[in-house]
């Protein structure tokens, strides 16, 4: 399949001030996304432990803020943030509502950057480095693949003991 003619949707800059946008992003209820990601892969989750999922949620909020407030820049999610974003998007009603409340528009996801040839892959690398620099400047922490908590997902039996799979027989 060729992706050469697939184009990235523009990010619309909101008319809200940045302080208000940040407050709205911080007020998002992402508990359902966190819960889903703590489910076992058998139940369409990732098997993340609660601490790790909460840390990625924090980083996702930072990512969203950068994504909608960076004029002309392409903000690239880390793998774990991208997984979190995909999970949020799959709850289409909640994601559309959250976008409308936070930004006043639907924040599209473009999953093809880097897949449309060598030049595109170089753009992805360049934008990833720019994102890391902006993230560190804005939030004072290194933007890296492993979240600062660096806690790996727990095995299913430990998650079950923590209560993450309560009420979902066979899940966890």
| pLDDT value, residue 17 | 87
**29 or 155, greater pLDDT:** 29
Contacts 24+ apart (CB under 8 A), 157-160: 158/49, 159/38, 159/40, 159/47, 159/49
CA distance 39 to 99: 25
| pLDDT value, residue 146 | 59
CA distance 65 to 150: 23
How big, in percent rounded to 5, are the helix, strand and coil portions of the chain?
55, 0, 45
The whole-number average pLDDT for the span 113-133 is 92
CA distance 56 to 5: 32
Helix H or strand E segment including 162: helix 156-162
Say if CB 61 and CB 25 are below 8 A apart.
Answer: yes
- C-alpha distances in Å from residue 170, one per residue of 36, 40, 45, 81: 14, 9, 13, 27
Residue 151 has pLDDT above 50, yes or no: no
> For 82-109, how does the pLDDT look when each residue is reduced to its tens digit (9 = 90+)?
999 999 999 999 999 999 999 989 999 9
Q: Which two tokens stand for residue 153?
A: 């997902």
> For 26-62, how does the pLDDT look when each residue is reduced to its tens digit (9 = 90+)?
999 999 999 999 999 999 999 999 999 999 999 999 9
Against a cut of 0.85, is the pTM above it? no
Q: Which two tokens stand for residue 22?
A: 């940040």
CA distance 37 to 71: 31
| pLDDT value, residue 89 | 97
Residue 71: which pLDDT band, with cuts at 50, 70 and 90? confident
């Amino acid at each position: 399949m060729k992706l050469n003619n697939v184009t990235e949707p523009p990010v619309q800059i909101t008319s809200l001030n940045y302080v208000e946008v940040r407050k709205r992003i911080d007020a998002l209820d992402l508990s359902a996304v966190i819960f889903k990601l703590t489910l076992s892969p058998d139940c369409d989750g990732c098997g993340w432990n609660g601490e790790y999922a909460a840390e990625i949620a924090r980083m996702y909020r930072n990512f969203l803020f950068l994504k909608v407030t960076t004029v002309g820049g392409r903000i690239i999610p880390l793998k774990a943030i991208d997984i979190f974003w995909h999970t949020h998007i799959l709850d289409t009603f909640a994601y559309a509502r959250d976008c409308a409340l936070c930004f006043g528009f639907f924040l599209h996801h473009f999953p093809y950057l880097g897949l449309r040839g060598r030049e595109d892959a170089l753009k992805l690398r360049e934008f990833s480095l720019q994102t890391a620099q902006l993230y560190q400047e804005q939030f004072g922490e290194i933007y890296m693949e492993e979240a600062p908590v660096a806690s790996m997902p727990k095995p299913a039996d430990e998650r079950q003991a923590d209560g993450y799979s309560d009420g979902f027989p066979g899940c966890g």
